[in-house]
Amino acid sequence: MITDDELRRALKALKLNYLVDSLDDLVAEATRSRWGPREVLEIVAERELQEQRRRSVERRAKEARIGRFKPMTQFDWAWPSAIDRDQIERLLALDWIDRQENWILAAAQGLGKTMMAKNVAHLAVLAGHSVLVTTAAAMLLDLRQQDSPRALQSRLRRYTSPRLLVVDEVGYLSHDSASADLLFDVVSRRYETAPILLTTNLEFKHWPQHFPGAACVTAMIDRLTHHGEVVAIEGESYRLKEARERKQKRGL
């Protein structure tokens, strides 16, 4: 008979993490409850699968880099002057991911674009998808810092391999044509193979001014919208509303 340490090493080699961490408690529970051999196997298999699912979600959530966000239950649907709630519900349903459809959230600042995008990313992680959340500025800076074509090709895989890529804040900073070409490269590599959820504060007609001198802007918009849906939200910034309310309270 092997020792407990040897058994744990064998279980660890088999990547049975639940058994490694719970061996003593499980043996005691099985003895106390007088489980039969098949019952032991069934319970161990069920709990091991639960632990593997938990660890998988935890790993994907870490890789997604979602950051902090408010749940959609806290979204004030009455605040925007124009919003299609049914359309947002379809976005949150995630069916479009398997259809390789892109979604674009277009609205001025402070209307919940990032909040919605991060909620979608979180739901996608829970649904078993690999996800990456980034801002347009961070992604383009990362790609431009690669010091060789080989390094760039390797780094591009970071943005093309996740099942869902969320690109936040397109339009908040201007970018030159080289950065536009990099964004176009990411969009093209994912075109009809893996979806993008993108947020922007600019209408598409203003994108050429955001990427001055870039020849690829029209083609990029075409690829984003060919199999895609645009969510337009109108209204005043909710953050400005909250700031006014705080100021009024301090004045009381």
Residues 152-181 have a mean pLDDT of 94
Q: Is 104 helix (H, G, I), strand (E, B) or coil?
A: strand
- Looking at residue 252, what is its pLDDT? 55
Same domain flag for 79 and 148: yes
Where does the pLDDT of residue 250 fall: very low under 50, low under 70, confident under 90, or very high at 90 and above? confident
Whole-number mean pLDDT of the chain?
92
Same domain flag for 55 and 98: no
Same domain flag for 31 and 104: no
Residues 180-204 have a mean pLDDT of 96
Same domain flag for 128 and 216: yes
Same domain flag for 9 and 76: no
Each residue's pLDDT tens digit, 66-87? 999 999 999 999 999 999 999 9
Residue 175: is its pLDDT beyond 90?
A: no
Instruction: List phi, psi (to 5°) of 106.
Output: -115, 120
Instruction: Evaluate whether residue 252 is within a structural domain.
Output: no
Residues 153-169 have a mean pLDDT of 97
Domain range spanning residue 21?
A: 4-62
Q: Is 62 helix (H, G, I), strand (E, B) or coil?
A: helix
Same domain flag for 18 and 116: no
Instruction: Evaluate whether residue 245 is within a structural domain.
Output: no
Same domain flag for 23 and 107: no
Residues 204-223 have a mean pLDDT of 92
Identity of the highest mean pLDDT range in 32-36, 84-88, 173-177: 84-88
Range 35-42, long-range pairs (CB < 8 A, 24+ positions): none
Do 136 and 169 contact (CB within 8 A), yes or no? Answer: yes
Same domain flag for 114 and 143: yes
- Among 31-35, 190-194, 214-218, 244-248, the range scoring the smallest mean pLDDT is 244-248
- Looking at residue 242, what is its pLDDT? 66
Each residue's pLDDT tens digit, 137-148? 999 999 999 999
Same domain flag for 114 and 146: yes
Rounded CA-CA distance 132/122 in Å is 10
Rounded CA-CA distance 42/231 in Å is 47
- Looking at residue 245, what is its pLDDT? 67
Same domain flag for 137 and 172: yes
Domain count, the chain: 2
Does pTM top 0.95 for this prediction? no
Range 214-220, long-range pairs (CB < 8 A, 24+ positions): 214/176, 214/177, 214/180, 214/181, 214/184, 215/177, 216/180, 216/181, 216/184, 217/180, 219/184, 220/180, 220/183, 220/184, 220/187, 220/188
Count of CB atoms situated within 10 Å of the CB of 32: 8
Rounded CA-CA distance 168/107 in Å is 12
Instruction: Evaluate whether residue 50 is within a structural domain.
Output: yes
Where does the pLDDT of residue 2 fall: very low under 50, low under 70, confident under 90, or very high at 90 and above? confident
Residues 103-129 have a mean pLDDT of 95
Residue in 200, 238, 244 with CA at minimum distance from that of residue 110 = 238
